[in-house]
Amino acid sequence: MTLRTKFILFAVLVHGLLLALSWFVLQQNKFLFLGMELLIFVSAYVTFQLYRSFFKPLQLIRSGIESIRDKDFSTKFMAVGQKDLDELVNVYNRMIDQLRHERVAQAEKHFLLDKLIQASPAGIILLGFDNQVESINPAAERFLGQPAASLAGKHVSQLPDVWARELRDLHTGQSVTFRINGIWTYRCHRAHFLDRGFQHYFILIEELTEAILQNERQAYEKVIRVMSHEVNNTTGAINSILGSLGFYTLQLQPEDQEDFAHVLQVATERNTNLSRFMANFAEVVRLPQPKKVPTDVHTLLQSLHRLLQPELQRRNIQIQWQLAPVSLVVPLDAQQLEQVLLNVLKNAMEAIGTDGEIHVETINNPPQLRITDSGGGIPADVLGNLFTPFYTTKANGQGIGLTLVRDILVNHGFAFSLSSENSHTTFHIRF
């Protein structure tokens, strides 16, 4: 039973007794009965005023509670001229103003945080209590190579390839650095934050590729510059001396002249090869910025096919074409990209050896190129180091071919990857 009901029942009972009492008074004294009736009317009026005074604040409180329950912080009450009630109205209005201010501030903070997460160049993966992916930002989508919708709700162990292996055992407060396809380097840090009293976990992803490439480039530029200077000075002086020694050939005994000339020729050739070796390294250091013009990639591929046709026939290697129906025109430096494709195709031919296939595929939307060879694949430990400067698995290799490829594509801003599975190796360029 509510307080309002109790008050009304009490007032009805009291005034009912007064009316009954006035009936008996009427039997004894009519003037006393009139006074009794007047008293009842006064009592009813006073009771009504007390009712309003007591329950209007309660009605006000109830209305305020309803507004708060409905999260409506815009409703305020006006003063009514009663001191006690006006104090209650002032307290309620101040409380509503504070709640509204805090709510707006909280909403603005959440909005700003969401905008920062969406615009952040660092990848962010928000996790649930069971390491389920709740959401990821656009940068993380780009790093993982999959849309957020396809990753939402998945366990960390269900992320793509290397990501799942590296992140599933990552504990809060720990960091891990790893490389994907031997090219892209990432550092992931797991942490947590509190929201509404609950602990939430997230993984912060930083791409270190550009910084590492810049440091690598600065290091090997300095080494190559010093080596090139010393080697060229030495080989130049030695070739000059060897050329001078050639004038003494005719002064030797006839039976010694041929051996002497042969020795000088071998020494000169070795010096020339050493100079050429250093020149190849210097090409990587002196790589100019690309001069991009709209170029038909299909025409570039066909030109390289004609160039490599004799070697392809000698090795009995077939090129299978799957070109896009419309010309693939991309702004790029044709000379530099030709060097990239030449390196990739030569590597594919050397991986196959003889009797195999190279599959070339282009796609218009989005523009991309895939070159796949049937050369038996690349071991995982080798794949992770192929783009490292001076790393090579060839007996006479210098380890600069794929480094040059990497630097050209990075300067162009083209995403690329080298993957190997099912005895096939694929080089993928996304223009």
Q: Which tens digit of pLDDT belongs to each residue from 171-196?
A: 888 898 887 766 778 889 999 887 76
Which residues have C-beta within 8 Å of that of residue 337, sequence separation ≥ 6?
Answer: 295, 297, 300, 408, 412
115-129 mean pLDDT: 85
- DSSP symbol at 155: B
Residue bearing tokens 């957020």: 148
| Ordered strands of the 317-322 beta sheet | 317-322, 356-363, 368-373, 424-430, 415-421
Residue 169 confidence class, pLDDT cut points 50, 70, 90: confident
Q: Which two tokens stand for residue 175?
A: 């960091």
Give the integer Cα–Cα distance in Å for 220 and 398.
13
- DSSP symbol at 159: S
Q: Which two tokens stand for residue 377?
A: 């694949």
**pLDDT at position 359 over 90:** yes
- Report the topology of domain 120-207: Beta-Lactamase (3.30.450)
Q: What is the pLDDT of residue 378?
A: 74
Q: Which two tokens stand for residue 79?
A: 């003063």
| Average pLDDT for the chain | 78
Q: What is the pLDDT of residue 390?
A: 58
Q: What is the pLDDT of residues 315-349, one digit of tens each?
A: 898 989 998 888 889 998 888 888 888 888 888 88
Q: Is the model's pTM score more than 0.75?
A: no
- DSSP symbol at 132: B
Q: Which amino acid is at 119?
A: A
59-81 mean pLDDT: 68
Give the integer Cα–Cα distance in Å for 369 and 340.
12
Q: Which of 19-23, 66-70, 338-342, 405-409 has the highest mean pLDDT?
A: 338-342
290-318 mean pLDDT: 88
Give the integer Cα–Cα distance in Å for 390 and 160.
30
Smallest Cα–Cα separation from 425: which of 380, 371, 384?
371
Q: Taking a C-beta distance cutoff of 8 angstroms, is the pair 239, 219 a contact?
A: no
Give the integer Cα–Cα distance in Å for 166 and 188.
9
131-147 mean pLDDT: 87
Q: What is the pLDDT of residue 179?
A: 79
Q: Taking a C-beta distance cutoff of 8 angstroms, is the pair 48, 77 a contact?
A: no
Q: What percent of the chain has pLDDT over 70?
A: 79
**pLDDT at position 400 over 70:** no
Give the integer Cα–Cα distance in Å for 406 and 387.
7
For residue 208, CA distances in Å to 119, 188, 230, 331 come to 18, 10, 33, 26
The radius of gyration computed from the CA coordinates of the chain, to the nearest angstrom, equals: 43
Q: What is the pLDDT of residue 189?
A: 93
CB atoms within 10 A of CB 307: 13
Task: Classify domain 293-430 at the CATH class level.
Answer: alpha beta
- Give the domain ranges of the chain: 3-107, 120-207, 212-285, 293-430
Give the integer Cα–Cα distance in Å for 25 and 274.
137
Give the integer Cα–Cα distance in Å for 161 and 167.
10
Give the integer Cα–Cα distance in Å for 131 and 194.
16
The enclosing H or E element of 373 equals: strand 368-373
**pLDDT at position 397 over 60:** no
Q: What is the pLDDT of residue 105?
A: 79
**pLDDT at position 82 over 70:** no
The beta-strand segments (E) located in 238-332 are: 293-296, 317-322, 329-332
**pLDDT at position 202 over 60:** yes
